[in-house]
Amino acid sequence: MLSANQAVLTRLTLLLTTALLGTACGHTQGATSTDPAASTGAEAAIVQPVVVTDTVRHDTDDPAIWINPTDPAKSLIIGTDKDPDGALYVFDLQGKVIPPKVVRGLRRPNNVDIGYGLQLHGQPTDIAVTTERETSRLRAFRLPDMQPVDRGNLAVFAGETERLPMGIALYKRPRDGAMFAIVGRKTGPQQGYLWQYLLQDDGTGHLQMTFVRKFGKWSGKKEIESIAVDNELGYVYYSDEGVGVRQYYADPTQGNAELALFGQTGFTEDHEGISIYKTGPRTGYLLVSDQGANQFQIFRREGTPGKPFDHPLLKTVKVAAQISDGSEVTNVPLNKQFSHGLFVAMSEGKTFHFYRWEDIAGKELK
């Protein structure tokens, strides 16, 4: 861990690099952020984080937010350290590592997601589930103590030659509380790239996993990593990098037809992290990382009148986070600093950035 002086120096260096890169990139397409001069074509302001986390050992990739149900100010950020000697890091809302909760010895953990209230040993249990790429399996941990609730046997893509898992999103079906893991991989077929599994108690308080379906198109251009699920509306979104964001039903009983492909223009390089900010039961925003431009494009969650799968671009926000891969957002007021919610973005430099929602929303969004 860095000393206080080293941390300050690292952050100053990062901010200086951000400013220089932002000037060099000069991307102005799409809606602008909070800069009043943006409407005249000037470069949009770069939104700065209010917290930069302690550094991890190797390579940050994807964050998830766990909301503490009894005290939101004690909520946690779980982030992957993607390496053969990898880990799940756990941070408080001040960005400080909580050493007793860090899970080490993971073999290239890629993405992570949170599920709430899965019945284990007769108790509703919150879990963090990560893809472990080098072992072609999932690993699962109970929250908030981060103790394992798997037996190391949650293998994915069984029988396939392309088995290296990357993205993951957990879906809890509202009508019956069934929880599913939707998993993507490093490479795969052009049809059925994602696999979906039912998560259940094996009778001993540990997870067991049952294959449910394979679905999802892939362009064949790059890869599919970022996956996000809207539990309330019942949709799953994923980034087909370099092409766009694809939308399907998350409930396997509703079929495998593609519902939308959006965000096909205006991205500098890869489509990456997807997160969902909810302003109501059916309204809100879809935030997608425009990785090559160090910015996020924000689309309408609910679509347009009469066209629920039409997601117009509302705004583009430049951020200090560099080459951002994974991201997550919540609308829950957590503390005085994050009173309207929290947006977390992975950044180069082995850190995650914490942003206030109002700084991301600016004057254009709620």
pLDDT per position as a tens digit, 65-87: 999 999 999 999 999 999 999 99
Instruction: Show Cβ contacts of residue 153 under 8 Å, excluding neighbours closer than 6 positions.
Output: 137
Mean pLDDT of 332-348: 98
**What CATH number matches the domain at 107-262, 3.10.450.50, 1.10.10.10, 2.120.10.30, 3.50.50.60?**
2.120.10.30
Q: What is the pTM of this model?
A: 0.88
Domain ranges of the chain: 1-52+272-366, 107-262
Q: What's the mean pLDDT when you consider all of the chain? A: 90
Mean pLDDT of 157-178: 97
Instruction: Show Cβ contacts of residue 271 under 8 Å, excluding neighbours closer than 6 positions.
Output: 226, 239, 240, 241, 242, 243, 244, 245, 263, 288, 289, 290, 291
pLDDT at 148 over 60: yes
Tens-place pLDDT, residues 199-228 = 999 999 999 999 999 999 999 999 999 999
**pLDDT (0 to 100) of residue 43:** 54
Instruction: Show Cβ contacts of residue 250 under 8 Å, excluding neighbours closer than 6 positions.
Output: 171, 173, 180, 182, 229, 230, 231, 234, 235, 236
* pLDDT classification of 269: cutoffs 50, 70, 90: confident
Distance CA 109, CA 359 (A): 30
Instruction: Check residues 94 and 29 and name the one with the higher pLDDT.
Output: 94
Instruction: Show Cβ contacts of residue 197 under 8 Å, excluding neighbours closer than 6 positions.
Output: 156, 180, 181, 183, 209, 210, 211, 212
Query: For residue 256, how many other CB atoms are within 10 A of its CB?
Result: 16
Range in 11-25, 83-97, 247-261 with the lowest mean pLDDT? 11-25
C-alpha separations of 360 from 26, 80, 253, 257 in Å: 19, 23, 36, 33
Mean pLDDT of 133-159: 97
Range in 31-40, 153-162, 234-243 with the lowest mean pLDDT? 31-40
